[in-house]
């Protein structure tokens, strides 16, 4: 069982690292960042504070939002999100320091880099969702809203993504005097990442979850296929 939890944490952290790589590549494409990273990115341009640190701060605000929305229904275990948020912020800083290449001027090459970023984000989501520990803060807010409204998760995600993009756009226009970080790539990523994740989940999710839960099956041969949790089934498409 201890080994299984170790695998869960490894899968979760690997997912966060791949997500961080995706964040950096989306910036390098210079075609617009993904919705969830738009606010930290714009704030980093305004304040010149490290983007990873600002990501941690924004994600911490998302955790506070969960507490406000859920109140007594908020589970203490979800405070673990604070630790993972700090880790993710560090991964973003690490990723930005690793991938230091300049954004290409050729539009086709920029589209290719954007596509790479989308695949990296989708892979990150695949590993992190399969671990099934706690949601990332932004997803936690969406789940909190869903629990209180009983609305479809996909619709809540669209509304949430639209809201953060509008906030990032207003911050950019008011404090930088122009729109930065929000372009066609933002829309492409918002639509495309869910599609890529859907394909990856159908092909590879069961293998990842089997690897994580292998020790449970060995320890208890009575565990059936239906007893294995194949990760949160959230509709990102």
State pLDDT tens for residues 3-45. 778 889 999 999 999 999 999 999 999 999 988 899 999 999 9
- Mean of the pLDDT values across residues 55-76? 94
Q: What's the confidence (pLDDT) of residue 2?
A: 67
Reported as a single tens digit per residue, the pLDDT across 172-226 is 999 999 999 999 999 898 888 888 988 998 899 888 988 888 765 544 454 444 4
Helices 2-29 and 80-98 pack at an angle, to 10 degrees, of 50
Question: Is the per-residue pLDDT at 88 higher than 50?
Answer: yes
- Of 4-8, 66-70, 138-142, the least confident: 4-8
Kindly state the tokens that stand for 213: 């839960």
Yes or no: say if 7 and 211 are a contact pair by the CB < 8 Å rule: yes
Which of these, 232, 227, 237, 228, lies nearest to 207 by C-alpha position? Answer: 228
Please state the φ and ψ torsions of residue 231, each to the nearest 5 degrees: 85, 160
Residue with more model confidence, 139 or 220: 139
**Structure confidence at residue 62 as a pLDDT band (50, 70, 90):** very high
pTM above 0.85, yes or no: no
Residue with more model confidence, 154 or 96: 96
- Mean of the pLDDT values across residues 71-94? 92
Distances (CA, A) of 235 to 114, 122, 181, 211: 22, 13, 26, 23
- Which residues fall within 8 angstroms of residue 90, CB to CB, at 6 or more apart? 52, 56
**Structure confidence at residue 227 as a pLDDT band (50, 70, 90):** very low
Yes or no: say if 137 and 219 are a contact pair by the CB < 8 Å rule: no
Q: Which residues of 88-113 are buried (b: 16+ CB within 10 A; e: fewer)?
A: bbbbbbebbeeeeeeeeeeeeebbeb
């Amino acid at each position: 069982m201890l080994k299984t939890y170790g695998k869960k944490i490894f899968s979760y952290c690997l997912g966060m690292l791949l997500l961080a790589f995706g964040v950096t590549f989306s910036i390098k494409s210079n075609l617009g960042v993904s919705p969830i990273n738009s606010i930290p990115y714009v704030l980093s341009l305004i304040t010149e504070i490290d983007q990873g640190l600002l990501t941690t701060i924004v994600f911490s605000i998302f955790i506070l939002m969960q507490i406000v929305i859920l109140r007594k229904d908020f589970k203490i275990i979800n405070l673990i999100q604070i630790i993972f948020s700090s880790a993710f912020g560090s991964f973003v800083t690490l990723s930005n320091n690793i991938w230091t290449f300049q954004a290409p001027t050729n539009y086709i090459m920029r589209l290719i880099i954007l596509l790479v970023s989308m695949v990296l984000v989708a892979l990150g989501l695949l590993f992190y969702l399969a671990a099934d520990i706690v949601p990332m803060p932004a997803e936690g807010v969406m789940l909190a809203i869903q629990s209180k409204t009983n609305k479809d998760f996909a619709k809540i995600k669209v509304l949430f993504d639209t809201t953060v993009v509008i906030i990032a756009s207003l911050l950019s226009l008011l404090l930088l005097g122009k729109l930065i970080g929000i372009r066609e790539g933002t829309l492409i990523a918002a639509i495309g990442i869910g599609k890529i994740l859907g394909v990856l989940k159908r092909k590879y999710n069961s293998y990842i979850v089997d690897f994580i839960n292998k020790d449970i099956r060995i320890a208890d041969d009575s565990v059936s296929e239906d007893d294995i949790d194949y990760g949160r089934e959230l509709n990102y498409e």
